[in-house]
Chain A
Amino acid sequence: MKDVIDVMALQSSRRERRLPDYRSISGHSMATNFIFECGIKLGLQPATVATAAIFYHKFFNEADKNDYDCYVICTACLCAAGKSRDEPIRLRDAVNVAHNSINRGAGPLELGEEYWSMRGAVAQAELLVLRLLGFNLDAPSPHRYLLHYLRSLQEWFPASQWRSAPIARTAMAFLQDFHHSPAILDYRAPHVAVACLTLALHVLGVSVPLASTLDDDAAWYSVFTKDLQKEKNWEIMEKIMQVYSREPEPI
């Protein structure tokens, strides 16, 4: 029995070590990582976490990054995104998860001054985020487009070929990771979804059946979105790939 606990402790400490130490990082370089980590810990749907990241990028499009504590704003974005997508989280949970992610290994906050001041800051920040977004909480979700495209492609692929490569998982992962970049605000949701899909197919070395018989081998996605040029698609794919060069080396 003792061994089991040891193994689990070892695993969790290994996992912990791979997570960034937000206290040692200055500025906003880890802000979106923080949103994703807290969002997952709070059990939010991926699309809700992505919405929180969009709120964060929109917020700092308007506001100066030096004026606000990025982790308070990130937590507030998670709260607002949860409400806007009908997946509300308790403010108390959000505060505790945020605190624990910043101060690794610390226990839950005592109901003291530190808790109340952080909670107050997050509550105020939520109102501020809503104000700066002008209550425009309707984030066009590329997730829905991608799901729809994947569904259609799945029917088009021979079943064995579809099973042989994790196309759906890879494309969804690219989409989720693209939310680390503020560039996601620059493109329309269907275009982002197609770019994630195209990139996944390239990475996995899979080509769409019969696409080579078309005059333009990239034209297969014109059934999904008509106004996406090949160059634009490559531009988005490059922006997605840049997300991965941005990430610091794992410790």
Chain B
Amino acid sequence: MSGASTSTTAQSPPAIASINDVSALFQTAKKYEELNVIGTGAYGTVYKARDLHNGGQIVAMKKVKVALTEDGIPLSTLREIALLRQLEAYRHPNIVRLLDVCHGGQSVDRDHQLVLFLVFEHVEQDLELYLKKAPGPLSENRIRSMSYDILCGVDFLHSHRIVHRDLKPHNLLVTAAGRVKLADFGLAKTYDTEMKLTSVVVTLWYRPPEVLLGVSYNTAVDVWSCGCVLAQLLLGVSYNTAVDVWSCGCVLAQLHTRSPLLPGSSDSDQLHCIFRLIGRPPRQEWPDNVSVVADSFPPYPARDLADILPRAHPNAVNMIKGMLVFDPAKRLTALDCLEHPYFTEEPLT
């Protein structure tokens, strides 16, 4: 580059060669040793690996493929990863640690894909496994502390403008000390390109009704939606964050019963499950811009959640009820939940 235009061809190759050498440099300076595959999710493969530079500490490496655009790494991916790194500075106890971000240099040229490795702390088990292995019902205090951990993590993400969108026991990690940490968030756009490539079924059990009904986030720009946006800004409530609260409510109920609250088998069956529990919503609450009409569901009456969670404390039932509300605008927020009497009121039985 530093040569005159006539001699550029003579001068530039060293610079380019040195840049291309980088991939070789990555391979020689090996930092992580792959041990085994932990799981293959909808979004990519997760490996268990050993950090060779940090005394053999065990880490979880998540392999994410990013399609490179004409202008290099996509802006959305870059900003999402930068945001994850930024969050890391807070070291929130209920968020899984992101230790490092590497890219494998090898397949950059091939089919314009960049392989990124997100290196997370390794936590032995997820909540799904934890509940499966639990010998009997969890104690009231255990449930309360785990619920609080989950809600703290969700509230932290929401206060940093991140919507998880896929909260489920599988994404909630349980440490040896019994603390819960959230994983698998914040890469919605990065994953989106990847989603189409895999056929792994994403579980529906924690999906809120507005997502199942396909209510679009970008509703037509009219006075009504402007008013809604304004209300969101004023109240600090976003319908997007309500998605996580619903999933959270399902998970919290599952802590009590150790089995999924709404195990639907398909999109429509999931909606039937939901309406059998909370009742078919009144017509005025039914969103306008969806293809499914309210009448396609029988007029289910609402069931009492206390019957389904017989052992749960009335405050717990009350809070979960507030989280499983059809209208996202009327759902509790994660912060509301943290201030709910369930966590604040004595006696903490």
Contact = CB atoms under 8 A, between A and B. Distances in A.
B71 A90 contact: yes
B1 interface: yes
Interface in A109-145: 113-114, 117-118, 120-121, 123-128, 130-131, 134-138
**How would you classify the secondary structure of chain A's contact residues: helix, strand, loop or mixed?**
helix
Contacts of B220: none
Given A72-B19, A131-B102, A137 B78 contact: yes
A91 B15 CA distance: 18
Given A83-B73, A126-B73, A136 B82 contact: yes
Contacts of A126: 72-73
Interface stretch (B2-10, B130-138, B205-213, B275-283): B2-10
Contact of A67 (B18, B75, B105): B18
Contacts, number: 107
A169 interface: no
A244 interface: no
A127 B73 contact: yes
A114 B108 contact: no
A162 interface: no
B272 interface: no
Interface string B98-141: 00111101001000001000000000000000000000000000
Contacts of B203: none
A137 B82 contact: yes
Contacts of A89: 71
Given A84-B82, A88-B75, A127-B108, A134 B18 contact: no
Contacts of A22: 2
Given A88-B75, A91-B70, A106 B5 contact: yes
Contacts of A98: 1
A68 B89 CA distance: 30
Interface in B67-88: 68, 70-73, 75, 78-79, 81-82, 84-86
B22 interface: yes
A80 B79 CA distance: 10
Most buried by B among A89, A113, A136: A136
B81 A135 contact: yes
Contacts of A69: 1-2, 12, 14-15, 18-19
Interface of A: 22-23, 26, 67-69, 71-72, 79-80, 83-84, 86, 88-92, 98, 102-103, 106, 113-114, 117-118, 120-121, 123-128, 130-131, 134-138
